[in-house]
Structure 1
Amino acid sequence: MPRPDVIVIGLGAVGSAAAWQLARRGLRVLGIDRWHPPHAMGSTHGETRITRTAIGEGEQFVPLVRRSDEIWAELEEVGGEPLGLRCGALIIGAEGGTTEMHGRPGFVAGTVAAACSFNVPHEVLTADECRRCFPAFHPSDSDLVYYEPGAGMLFPERCVAAQLQAARNAGADLRLGEQVLAQQPIPGGVRVTTDKGVYEAAEAVIAAGAWAPGFAPHALARATVTRQVLHWLQPDDPALFEAGRCPVYIWAHGATSDDSFYGFPLVPGAEANGVKVADEQFLHPLTDPDLVERDTTDDETAALLADHLDGRLSGLARTALRRATCLYTSTPDAGFILDRMPGADRVTLVSACSGHGFKHSAAVGEQVALMVHEGRRSVPDGFSPAA
């Protein structure tokens, strides 16, 4: 391969999207990933991710998710494989929807406002209507219950694999199982050193997820990495949790972002895996994602049940069929970073997770490609600058 125009470091949700979007614009792309995506070491695994159009984290994200939906549909048409399922979403907030989620007070009330602003089809249900329509859910009468019938779930491993194949088809050179050790500016470009070689390009994109702050510790100083645990539980009555009868769900029930949980119906064709449910924990940031504790315990499942599910979601076993760890990379405002690296403007930084990034990732990758291909130096609307 001749000298690439751009090197993409990290080929997960955003990196795979960026590699494809850059390659389809005619750029020579070299993509490098330490593992073999889709893999289970970072943030883009676990079978399912929620997608929803009305975004309680901020209305600036609505155009991103709508554009991502268009891109997923394009990939589905090309590849012939479904990348998601529209099964509806319940978003429930205590105290009339004023409780916090992803750092946003009034998360559910904000979701309703976004739906109204962007004409997203939705219903606001009474607690009794929710209980009758979805018998496993038990909101209190003071809860705000939002239902979005067009929401649903994405299959992240399929999405990443589809984008990587599309990138290859567009001419990208993807090096998997190769660890990037360093990147540094050189006259007219960037040098990237890996455990297998040294590469130079006109530009580089750092889309390394939880490992991105290690490549740009000062620029990404406000990004924190946290360990999350996913749980799969056996339903007592599988029919109650079938997709079509059970939506995806988010439930913010307390004073902080830690006081919430989310989950999914049974995945068609993979019902034996159980019902996936998880909470979010932000209290203990990691200093090094390589040192994350990958083992999980029954105590963590017991805490999920006691702190979140008991009295709210019924019909699930008390022990997990299996568990997995996942990493979040979050900013204080739960926003996304897309910017040129300070002092190295041929390096583009992107960190777009904050616990709600996957549904936006296809469009974020496109924004990365536009920034690089068109030589933009300003931060796009809806994104935050690096520190």
Structure 2
Amino acid sequence: MTKSFDVVVLGLGAMGSASVFQLAKKRKRVLGIDQFSPPHQLGSSHGDTRIIRQAIGEGEEYVPMVLRSYELWREIEASTGKQVLSITGGLIMASTKSEASLHGSNGFLNQTIRSAQKFGIDHSLLDAHQIQSRFPQFHLAGDEHGYYEPAMGFLFLPAANGVTVKTSAGRYTADRLVVSAGSWIGPFIGQDLAPCFKVYRQVLYWFEAKDSIDAYGPGNFPIFIWQFGGHHDDFIYGFPAIDASDGGIKVASEQHIVDTDPDGVDRKVHEEEISEMYRNYIRERLPGLSQKCVRAAVCLYTSTPDSGFVIDFHPQNRGVLIVSPCSGHGFKHSAAIGEVVADLLIDGRSQIDISKFRINRFSGNSS
């Protein structure tokens, strides 16, 4: 038996679930499908927290989306009665030796500052002495400069042509299909476009504080992104401690050297990885953290060649909307992207300019 819907959304991570939500709000018959049972720990977002920031170092074109997301997260809180967005203030800092790109942005810190200035986002600029004085938890080299944004924080979540979708549960038809399958996007968009997306294994760590965890709690310790070297992986990011002493402090870096298969990825975090993370990234920069890792998890980044988003109709089928705002910096935008998806499918256009997220920038095809 074939069931009919206005829209089928394939993949129910951040982008897919936000799209389902916005379409349903607009009274559309929408079906969400995921190969796993959401929420799960097999995609791009792990742990209970995700960074959100208003001035975007990846490029000013992202700022309207994240500002709208701030508004929508508050609407979601009002409608559910649950807190999702916690404002803690956040720090982005970089060494003068940090010349490598981050998420496709050369000069991530400077672009963050330019975005803040253009959009009137409240912020302050700090030198190394000011950073060290305000946040003594960090052990700086002395050549860092920083950007502090009071509105930064974290999101807390304890996870035109007709199309036919066949699954193990049944066969479904819809006028439109949203493909937001994250790391599993390749098989759904065809062999010509699949090479635009590569999947990278990432590891998140929660290290125990040597002394009182209070110094790392919200209000005493910020969200931070810290660039400190010339290689594109010479940075770490982290969060305040939210689970008391048992939860540790969440800190991670990224790697974009070795890609992987999402179905064959090693989901185990090995002791040598924990030791290397502490030795190379944590020990000298966060001396208040011990080498004891209370928790670690593997997640997947689905990245494009320029680390930018893809929000565009399939070049060969206008009934298929590809939604892959990934590359390791997508979750904060998901509330607004769900609205963008609904607007594109219902009105044919989005109020937010998404022209820089077209897939033909890689394929040369016109969409």
CA offset digits 1:209-229 (Å, max 9, x no partner): 101122114224211110000
CA offset digits 1:167-199 (Å, max 9, x no partner): xxxxxxxxxxxxxxxxxxxx9500101012111
Once residues 188 and 238 of structure 1 are traced to their aligned partners in structure 2, the CA distance between those partners, rounded to angstroms, is 55
Once residues 14 and 321 of structure 1 are traced to their aligned partners in structure 2, the CA distance between those partners, rounded to angstroms, is 30
Once residues 18 and 190 of structure 1 are traced to their aligned partners in structure 2, the CA distance between those partners, rounded to angstroms, is 17
**2:74 and 2:85 in contact (8 A); partners too:** no
For residue 363 of structure 1, give the secondary structure of its aligned residue in structure 2.
helix
1:228 lines up with 2:229 in the alignment: no
Question: 1:241 maps to what in 2?
Answer: 216
Once residues 143 and 376 of structure 1 are traced to their aligned partners in structure 2, the CA distance between those partners, rounded to angstroms, is 42
Question: 1:276 maps to what in 2?
Answer: 250
AA of the residue aligned to 2:197 = A
Question: 1:289 maps to what in 2?
Answer: 262
For residue 317 of structure 1, give the secondary structure of its aligned residue in structure 2.
strand
Once residues 271 and 21 of structure 1 are traced to their aligned partners in structure 2, the CA distance between those partners, rounded to angstroms, is 38
- 1:86-165 residue pairs with structure 2 within 5 A? 86-95=87-96, 98-155=99-156, 157-158=157-158
User: Structure 1 regions of 5+ residues with no counterpart?
Assistant: 161-186
Question: 1:262 maps to what in 2?
Answer: 237
- 1:174-189 residue pairs with structure 2 within 5 A? 188-189=161-162
Question: 1:184 maps to what in 2?
Answer: none
**2:46 and 2:297 in contact (8 A); partners too:** no
AA of the residue aligned to 1:228 = Q
**2:283 and 2:289 in contact (8 A); partners too:** no
- 1:347-386 residue pairs with structure 2 within 5 A? 347-376=320-349, 380-386=354-360
Q: 1:201 to 1:374 in 2, by over 3 A?
A: same
For residue 185 of structure 2, give the secondary structure of its aligned residue in structure 1.
helix
**1:91 and 1:108 in contact (8 A); partners too:** yes
Q: 1:10 to 1:191 in 2, by over 3 A?
A: same
For residue 277 of structure 2, give the secondary structure of its aligned residue in structure 1.
helix
**2:163 and 2:177 in contact (8 A); partners too:** yes
AA of the residue aligned to 1:113 = R
AA of the residue aligned to 2:354 = P
Once residues 96 and 258 of structure 1 are traced to their aligned partners in structure 2, the CA distance between those partners, rounded to angstroms, is 13
Once the two structures are TM-superposed, the CA of residue 332 in structure 1 deviates from its matched residue by: 1.7
Once the two structures are TM-superposed, the CA of residue 44 in structure 1 deviates from its matched residue by: 2.5
Question: 2:277 maps to what in 1?
Answer: 304
Q: 1:300 to 1:235 in 2, by over 3 A?
A: same
CA offset digits 1:283-309 (Å, max 9, x no partner): 1011x2111100111211111122222
Once residues 11 and 72 of structure 2 are traced to their aligned partners in structure 1, the CA distance between those partners, rounded to angstroms, is 20
Once residues 336 and 195 of structure 2 are traced to their aligned partners in structure 1, the CA distance between those partners, rounded to angstroms, is 24
Once residues 155 and 226 of structure 2 are traced to their aligned partners in structure 1, the CA distance between those partners, rounded to angstroms, is 19
Once the two structures are TM-superposed, the CA of residue 376 in structure 1 deviates from its matched residue by: 4.7
Once residues 188 and 121 of structure 1 are traced to their aligned partners in structure 2, the CA distance between those partners, rounded to angstroms, is 45
For residue 291 of structure 1, give the secondary structure of its aligned residue in structure 2.
coil
**2:8 and 2:177 in contact (8 A); partners too:** yes
- 1:60-99 residue pairs with structure 2 within 5 A? 60-95=61-96, 98-99=99-100
Question: 1:47 maps to what in 2?
Answer: 48
**1:249 and 1:264 in contact (8 A); partners too:** yes
User: Structure 2 regions of 5+ residues with no counterpart?
Assistant: none
For residue 19 of structure 2, give the secondary structure of its aligned residue in structure 1.
helix
AA of the residue aligned to 1:259 = D
2:227 to 252, 277, 283: 252
2:175 to 202, 216, 220: 202
AA of the residue aligned to 1:319 = K
Once the two structures are TM-superposed, the CA of residue 100 in structure 1 deviates from its matched residue by: 2.7
TM-score after normalising by structure 2: 0.92
**2:50 and 2:155 in contact (8 A); partners too:** yes
Once the two structures are TM-superposed, the CA of residue 271 in structure 1 deviates from its matched residue by: 4.7
For residue 48 of structure 2, give the secondary structure of its aligned residue in structure 1.
coil
Once residues 201 and 207 of structure 1 are traced to their aligned partners in structure 2, the CA distance between those partners, rounded to angstroms, is 16
**1:126 and 1:144 in contact (8 A); partners too:** yes
Q: 1:239 to 1:376 in 2, by over 3 A?
A: closer
Aligned residues: 357
1:8 lines up with 2:5 in the alignment: no
For residue 226 of structure 2, give the secondary structure of its aligned residue in structure 1.
strand
CA RMSD between the two structures: 2.0
1:328 lines up with 2:305 in the alignment: no
For residue 3 of structure 1, give the secondary structure of its aligned residue in structure 2.
strand
For residue 105 of structure 2, give the secondary structure of its aligned residue in structure 1.
coil
AA of the residue aligned to 1:375 = G
For residue 202 of structure 1, give the secondary structure of its aligned residue in structure 2.
strand
Once residues 249 and 275 of structure 1 are traced to their aligned partners in structure 2, the CA distance between those partners, rounded to angstroms, is 12
Once the two structures are TM-superposed, the CA of residue 365 in structure 1 deviates from its matched residue by: 1.4
TM-score after normalising by structure 1: 0.88
1:345 lines up with 2:312 in the alignment: no
Once the two structures are TM-superposed, the CA of residue 383 in structure 1 deviates from its matched residue by: 1.8
CA offset digits 1:19-38 (Å, max 9, x no partner): 01111112110111122211
AA of the residue aligned to 1:295 = K
Question: 1:172 maps to what in 2?
Answer: none
Which stretch has the larger CA shift, 195-204 or 211-220? 211-220
CA offset digits 1:117-174 (Å, max 9, x no partner): 111111111211111111111223321211111101112x35x5xxxxxxxxxxxxxx
